[in-house]
Amino acid sequence: MKKNNGSRLAINMLIAMVAGIVTGLIFMAIRESAGADSALWQTINSLLFQDITASGANQALGLFYIGGQLFVKALQLVIVPMVFTSIVLAIGTIRDAAMLGRVSAKTFFWFLLTSACALVLAGVVGLVCYNAGMFNVAIEGIAASTGSTGSNPLNVFLNIVPSNIGASFTVNNAVLSLIFLAIVVGLSLNKLGYGDDCTINKLCKELSEIVVVFLNFVVNKFGPVAIFMLLCRTFATYGISYIKPAMAYFVLAIVVQLVFMFLFYPAVVAFATKLNPIKYLKKIFKVMVFGFSTSSSAATLPLNQDTNINELGVDKQVASFVLPLGMTINMDGTAIMQTIATLFLAGIGGYEVGVGSLFMIMVLALIASVGTPAAPGAGAVVLFTILSGMGFTNEAVMMGYTIILAINRPIEMLVTSLNCVGDSVAAIAVAKSEGKLNEDVFNA
């Protein structure tokens, strides 16, 4: 049922994307034919596309603008509870001393290694494209040179520790301090030895479930319609010149993820296990497909565990620890997407990005990806935390962010596949190092 629902949503998203682009191009042709100042276009723009918050738009309806912005705001609404509960639960529920010993150390080693490689690949490729001007664009009179961080990037680290706990829960641009608080709470729960039935754990678990239900509802019920509105409005009002850089991001993100999936992961399996990586790819392929169709690591977890235990020979105890933990904190695909998306938006906004800024983006992407729940659309939502952390928040960046939300569904689907396979690779590597990988089952 989940697979069918995920496939249906993917089809609806694809239909919405195509319909939005085609309809937007039709309106673009009308605008170019009649003229942007004509009465006909002014009427259409006022009815459908006008930003109703702009000066002089008091009488405009802006139906597509309202619909798209409500969707974006609904996604941003869950940032604070989503990040806090995910990290508290990820850290606070690891209480087995044995599992937190040798096996857990190896697990985190492989998580960090693959994530670091993903970030380096995405960062280097993204920076090359950024310096080549692939992401540069001016939007409707917004000059690219207007962007400026205006502060030392090291202030990001200074702002991680909040001086007021309440402020971290009330604004989206303080999510880094929220992550710090979540880590502190999770570690403190571990130290105190509270069980799953303690009040904070139960509260976080129930709140996390509410967030996932809300996010699924928003994405499933309103995602296709909102994407149609966002894409249609974008093409109609900003033109094809605005979409070209977004397509550069789209293609680049997909290519980098495919390279990581089909070249890097098999290489890690071969290096860590000395076994045939082709056999691994054949057996894990259905996990890739299921993750792609559902766009949810949580929905894919049961199949991932079954495949790793019964077809790849991973010990059940290792798989039961590594895979659920990886579902929460090991997000190679998300880190790749967020790094490339941030560089793309920096180019649109006119922000200067050097090696130092790239390093900060990669660190923030690593931290933010850890706080990304296993739910559809979460990666693009958490991307906002990186933008705010880097100070990339001018008008052009926010317009570009809206475009990413509109076209990101296929990328998010591939991100999920990459995340799930990354968890499996770590599980196999840990099991092999512990002598708990059944090679006969793997080679069968």
Q: Which of 35-49, 88-102, 424-438 has the lowest mean pLDDT?
A: 88-102
pLDDT digits (tens, 9 = 90+) for 252-267: 999 999 999 999 999 9
pLDDT given at position 413: 77
Pairwise CA distance, residues 111 & 94, whole Å: 16
Residue for token pair 């895979």: 323
**DSSP state letter for 260:** I
Are 410 and 377 contacting, i.e. CB atoms less than 8 angstroms apart?
no
More confident call, 7 vs 62: 62
Amino acid at 403: I
Q: 379: pLDDT confidence band, cut at 50, 70 and 90?
A: low
pLDDT given at position 124: 93
> Could you tell me which CATH class the domain 2-443 is placed in?
mainly alpha
pLDDT digits (tens, 9 = 90+) for 276-292: 999 999 889 888 877 77
Closest CA to 408 of 208, 249, 205, 182: 249
Q: 138: pLDDT confidence band, cut at 50, 70 and 90?
A: low
Q: Can you tell me the mean pLDDT for 113-134?
A: 90
Residue 149 pLDDT greater than 50, yes or no? no
Pairwise CA distance, residues 403 & 419, whole Å: 23
Residue 122 pLDDT greater than 70, yes or no? yes
Pairwise CA distance, residues 180 & 370, whole Å: 12
Sequence-distant (≥ 6) Cβ neighbours of residue 371 within 8 angstroms: 82, 83, 86, 87, 175, 179, 182, 382, 385
pLDDT given at position 142: 44
How far does Cα 289 stand from its chain's mean position? 18
More confident call, 145 vs 169: 169
Q: The dihedral of CA 264, 265, 271, 274: what is its sign?
A: negative
Residue 207 pLDDT greater than 90, yes or no? no
Residue 25 pLDDT greater than 90, yes or no? no
Q: Residue ranges of the domains in the chain?
A: 2-443
Pairwise CA distance, residues 444 & 442, whole Å: 6
Strand partners, 415: none
- State the average pLDDT for the chain: 79
pLDDT given at position 289: 79
Q: What share of the chain in percent tops pLDDT 90?
A: 16
